Amino acid sequence: MYSKRLDNILIDMKQEEKENNAVGLLSDNRGIGVVEIVLILVVLVALVIIFKDKIIEIINKAFESITSGTDSL
């Protein structure tokens, strides 16, 4: 009689542990920050690729104005 009750309790505990592990996996938020950073980097790289020519043009103009300013010194 006691062994059957003990067996049932152990089976119930194992079932609860399995359910808790499944719920724990779904509610685990530890990797969220990494995913957000990766997505931000992907968007940033895509923007750089899309506007590459404009970025290069702006940088060249900035360096030209810097070097022309040093010539007058």
**Average pLDDT for residues 24-35, to the nearest whole number?**
68
Q: Where are the domains of the chain?
A: 1-30, 31-73
Amino acid in position 71: D
Instruction: Report the alpha-carbon distance of residue 40 to residue 46 in Å, rounded.
Output: 10
Contacts (Cβ under 8 Å, ≥6 apart) of 55: 48
Q: What is the DSSP letter of 66?
A: H
In this prediction the pTM is 0.47
Instruction: Report the alpha-carbon distance of residue 25 to residue 31 in Å, rounded.
Output: 11
Instruction: Report the alpha-carbon distance of residue 63 to residue 71 in Å, rounded.
Output: 12
Instruction: Check residues 4 and 47 and name the one with the higher pLDDT.
Output: 47
pLDDT band for position 6 (50/70/90)?
confident
